[in-house]
Chains A and B, each alone.
Chain A
Amino acid sequence: MNKNNNDACTVTTQETSLSRRDLLKGVGLTGAALITGASSSAIAQSSLQQPARARIPVTEAFETLTAAESAALDAFTSRILPSDDGTPGAHEARAVHYIDRGLTGAMAASRELYATGLAALDAHAMEVGSTPFHLLPTSAQDDIIDAMTRNAIPGFAMLNSGFFNTVRTHTIDGTFSDPYYGGNRDFVGWDMIGYPGVRAGSSQEDVRQGRALAPSRQSAYDMPTYTKNPAGPASARSGGAAHGQ
């Protein structure tokens, strides 16, 4: 898929411009996530009517989170690492995508916690603001999270510091992980804390530069050494990135 410089696109592989054919496929993939407040056929219709180079209006498929869960969780993680200051936070890092993928595998033990916790979050938001959590003003979202950390939300046993700590931990994991896992998009997490990125080695001079070192801008799995395919790129056979420095 080609990147381009169309202003309608943020320059990422995920939100790039798509062909009509891609859009049709995309509707099929994301159908479940899109059905909120509108019928699927209406969305399919509007998608089909968009110009070929338009930006996809919503995120792509989640593997396990429902639309409501992903919306609530995105809002939650965005308050843990907000972007109010004009620099990317958990939303821009796509921490929710890291969590979603994790919940289908290595983090599956937490799936039930997310289901019950996020449902409680929306139910509580409906009580206090008559909207789902993600549509509350951010100040009201912050108040709920603050109360959650103090175990001070009576009537919602799930909204406690344990749930908060799990989401906080996973938000950090997703924001600062290798992008291979679905978060840290465009390395925004690593930039946030001044980590110049994975590389096969560092010189004493690299270390001396510290966060001033030019970022590597790669995933570990961009290194040919780790393609797991012994017949892979020539650079892997000759030792590849691991021996490159």
Chain B
Amino acid sequence: MANENARTDVVVIGLGAVGGVAVLPLVNAGLNVIGLEAGGWMTTRDFAPDEVRNNLRDWPQAVPKAKSEIPTSRANINFEAVQGGGHPMMNGVGGTTLHYWAQSWRLNPWDFKTVSETTRRYGAHRIPLDSTVEDWPISYEDLEPYYDTVEYALGVSGNAGNINGTLQPNGNRFEGARARAYPMPGLRSSVFTDLMSDAARQIGWHPFQGPAAINTEVYGDRPGCLYHGFCDRGGCHVAAKSSTAVTTIPEALKSGRLKVITHARVLRIVNDANGRATGVEYLMGNQVMFQPADAVLLASHTYENTRLLLLSKSRQFPNGLANNSRQVGEHYLSHHQGAPVTALFPRNLHNWYGLPAQGVAIDEWADDNFDHSDLDFIGGGNLWVHTDRKPISAAKMSTFDQVPNWGAQWKAFISENADRTNSSYIQKTTLPYRGNRLDLDPLIKDKLGFPVIRITGEYRENELRIAAFTQDRMEEWYRAAGATRIIRAGLGGAMGASTHAYGGTRMGDNPQTNVTNRFGFAHEVKNLGVLGASVMGTSGARNPTLTAQALAWRTTEYLAQNWDAITR
């Protein structure tokens, strides 16, 4: 048997975006918590403004564990899945919140009720036939208090659009009602965001600065953003980014009830004859360890959440833990964030030192914010332009078919235009479909010999039509701002590995079609909670992290309040 640690109340697998949030309400409730993290601690002094290291060489993401577990992917079962690229997750205390863009959106209320709202407004025939989408078991209103709690616990900046039903002038008029304003105003505007905002107003739209888990003023003991321009895939050099590594995790450590075990590579979750989770087996160096616990919270990442369940086979769960329903890995989707529009302007945009979360959003064409009666799709996309610009990527700008991509003419072109181009980021409603799923790859293994995750998935007609529609809107916006050249990317095909990965352990009342219940606990294993976007059944048209964090807070609060029922 493995080396056995002392028993604890709760073991959390992964101290990233969601596990790092969950530990705080757990210790606040008086519970003793062990956090197992595959990576180590990093500090502000590890986060140099270095485009080579952050963006070309994938540091600090490219650490051994995740790198040896890169998923394979294929569009559908007619192809062999291949491994490529990097792993969208990373290991480290704080996880992806160390280096993410920190856009911290609430989903639109429609995203929780896609089926019933579409049926009510347009008829049930408008739900794509091959989609397995369900209404969420909870509503936006159910989650609102947790959004609020997390926004204040982490430190999220933004301009509210709807406070208790009253529309606010500088925010998103399409957002669900919120109880109060953000704890801090949004990131500052810039020459470029002013240009784009003015253009949007000219064509009758309502631009706003998007929300971000980035301080815009001193918040607690952390400073506001310094705008040095290396936020994208880089950790913050002054801890202005509200990563869980500098917010909820240190706050939880102050209680003395959280113990963080770094460099712990979880192998499997163990269960007893009654089908209850008893603890977690992990590898540290060359030692196999066992951490017994009354409750287990699985909080790694969509791919690893599914993989760990599928790898945790036992007599009670021969298909993997909590998978007698065969639903683990189903209802998978990669967010359709691709198919950008890229523009060339006849003037400098002043985007040096910008960041991906400093930008302007248009929500007119997202979710069900516009009438779809005469359209051939449901949902939509959030249009986002931002100020991020760094020298290497700037020099790799599109030539817009104006010049060759090398030589004297090209040199003159990039010398003039490096600060004159912009590429949009359009996040689109993405639905789960029959045939899009995660399972264990039959051939490709990680360094320990365990199979990696295999993604089988492709965007369907609904996503491609949204992509085409939103590209039209995006071009209209760029043209209004004075862009002289426009390039549209292809509409999309295979899903592939994504930072925005959803499903695999979907949350829902029906145990035949969902792995977790409305509180995030497994239908089949009552003391196993699952945290992360893997419980989400729709993507919405915006970044998932804040929603996953609000759900995580809600799951842990439920655990604390129902401790005996869940663990006895």
- Find the A residue at minimum CB distance from B348: A210
Whether A211 sits at the interface, judged by CB under 8 Å, is yes
Q: Judging by beta carbons under 8 Å apart, are B48 and A220 in contact? A: yes
Q: Judging by beta carbons under 8 Å apart, are B411 and A207 in contact? A: no
Whether B350 sits at the interface, judged by CB under 8 Å, is yes
Q: How far is the CB of B132 from the nearest CB of chain A, in Å?
A: 40
Chain A residues, Cβ within 8 Å of B229: 202
Whether A115 sits at the interface, judged by CB under 8 Å, is no
Select one of A85, A173, A181, A206 contacting B411, CB under 8 A.
A85
**Residues of A22-67 whose CB lies within 8 A of B:** none
**Residues of B27-53 whose CB lies within 8 A of A:** 44-45, 48-52
* Interface-facing stretch out of A1-9, A118-126, A127-135, A221-229: A221-229
Whether B419 sits at the interface, judged by CB under 8 Å, is yes
Q: Judging by beta carbons under 8 Å apart, are A145 and B412 in contact? A: no
Whether A162 sits at the interface, judged by CB under 8 Å, is no
Whether A152 sits at the interface, judged by CB under 8 Å, is no
What per-residue 1/0 map shows which CB atoms of A167-189 lie under 8 Å from chain B?
01100110111101100000001
A79 touching B406 in the complex, CB below 8 Å, given contacts A172-B392, A202-B353: yes
On chain A, the number of residues with a Cβ less than 8 Å from chain B's Cβ atoms is: 53
Q: How far is the CA of A70 from the CA of B125 in the complex (A)?
A: 65
Select one of A79, A89, A226 contacting B48, CB under 8 A.
A226
**Among A85, A106, A168, A176, residue most surrounded by chain B Cβ atoms (within 10 Å):** A176
Q: Judging by beta carbons under 8 Å apart, are A80 and B227 in contact? A: no
Whether B414 sits at the interface, judged by CB under 8 Å, is yes
Whether A68 sits at the interface, judged by CB under 8 Å, is no
A192 touching B415 in the complex, CB below 8 Å, given contacts A80-B406, A84-B408: yes
Select one of B228, B352, B407 contacting A200, CB under 8 A.
B228
What per-residue 1/0 map shows which CB atoms of A181-213 lie under 8 Å from chain B?
100000001101111101111111011111101
- Find the B residue at minimum CB distance from A142: B407
Whether B447 sits at the interface, judged by CB under 8 Å, is no
What per-residue 1/0 map shows which CB atoms of B357-392 lie under 8 Å from chain A?
000000000000000000000000000000000011
Q: How far is the CB of A187 from the nearest CB of chain B, in Å?
A: 10
**Among A192, A196, A208, A221, residue most surrounded by chain B Cβ atoms (within 10 Å):** A192
Chain A residues, Cβ within 8 Å of B350: 207-210
Q: How far is the CB of A97 from the nearest CB of chain B, in Å?
A: 14
Q: How far is the CB of B227 from the nearest CB of chain A, in Å?
A: 5
Whether A81 sits at the interface, judged by CB under 8 Å, is yes
What per-residue 1/0 map shows which CB atoms of B438-454 lie under 8 Å from chain A?
00000000000000000
Whether B238 sits at the interface, judged by CB under 8 Å, is yes
Q: How far is the CA of A145 from the CA of B48 in the complex (A)?
A: 36
Q: Judging by beta carbons under 8 Å apart, are B395 and A176 in contact? A: yes
Q: How far is the CB of A127 from the nearest CB of chain B, in Å?
A: 22
Q: Judging by beta carbons under 8 Å apart, are A181 and B352 in contact? A: no
Q: How far is the CB of A167 from the nearest CB of chain B, in Å?
A: 9
Chain B residues, Cβ within 8 Å of A199: 49, 228, 353
Q: Judging by beta carbons under 8 Å apart, are A82 and B50 in contact? A: no
By secondary structure, the A interface counts as helix
What per-residue 1/0 map shows which CB atoms of B42-81 lie under 8 Å from chain A?
0011001111100011000000000000000000000000
- Find the A residue at minimum CB distance from B239: A242
A202 touching B226 in the complex, CB below 8 Å, given contacts A106-B57, A193-B394: yes
Whether B188 sits at the interface, judged by CB under 8 Å, is yes
- Find the A residue at minimum CB distance from B237: A242
- Find the A residue at minimum CB distance from B188: A204
A189 touching B391 in the complex, CB below 8 Å, given contacts A208-B191, A242-B44: yes
Q: How far is the CB of A7 from the nearest CB of chain B, in Å?
A: 28
Q: How far is the CA of A189 from the CA of B52 in the complex (A)?
A: 14
Q: How far is the CB of A231 from the nearest CB of chain B, in Å?
A: 13
**Residues of A129-165 whose CB lies within 8 A of B:** 142, 145, 149, 164
**Among B50, B191, B391, residue most surrounded by chain A Cβ atoms (within 10 Å):** B391
Q: How far is the CA of A169 from the CA of B410 in the complex (A)?
A: 14
Select one of A168, A173, A228 contacting B52, CB under 8 A.
A173
A79 touching B407 in the complex, CB below 8 Å, given contacts A207-B227, A208-B191: yes
Q: Judging by beta carbons under 8 Å apart, are A211 and B348 in contact? A: yes
- Find the A residue at minimum CB distance from B45: A225
Chain A residues, Cβ within 8 Å of B50: 178, 180, 220-221
Q: How far is the CA of A177 from the CA of B49 in the complex (A)?
A: 11
Q: Judging by beta carbons under 8 Å apart, are B44 and A177 in contact? A: no
Chain A residues, Cβ within 8 Å of B394: 176, 193, 195
Whether B396 sits at the interface, judged by CB under 8 Å, is yes
A178 touching B52 in the complex, CB below 8 Å, given contacts A195-B391, A210-B350: yes
- Find the B residue at minimum CB distance from A169: B396
- Find the A residue at minimum CB distance from B396: A172
Chain A residues within 8 Å of B, Cβ to Cβ: 79-82, 84-85, 89, 106, 142, 145, 149, 164, 168-169, 172-173, 175-178, 180-181, 189-190, 192-196, 198-204, 206-211, 213, 220-221, 223, 225-226, 228, 236, 242-243, 245
Chain B residues within 8 Å of A, Cβ to Cβ: 44-45, 48-52, 56-57, 188, 190-191, 223, 226-230, 237-238, 348, 350, 352-354, 391-392, 394-396, 405-408, 410-412, 414-415, 418-419
Report 26 cross-chain contacts, Cβ distance below 8 Å, ordered by A residue.
A80-B406, A80-B410, A85-B408, A85-B411, A145-B406, A164-B406, A169-B396, A172-B396, A178-B52, A190-B391, A192-B411, A193-B414, A194-B415, A195-B391, A202-B226, A202-B353, A204-B190, A207-B354, A208-B191, A210-B348, A210-B352, A210-B419, A225-B44, A226-B48, A228-B45, A243-B223
Given A172-B395, A207-B350, A226-B48, 12 more contacts at CB 8 Å? A85-B412, A164-B406, A177-B52, A195-B391, A199-B228, A200-B226, A202-B229, A207-B191, A220-B50, A225-B45, A225-B237, A236-B45
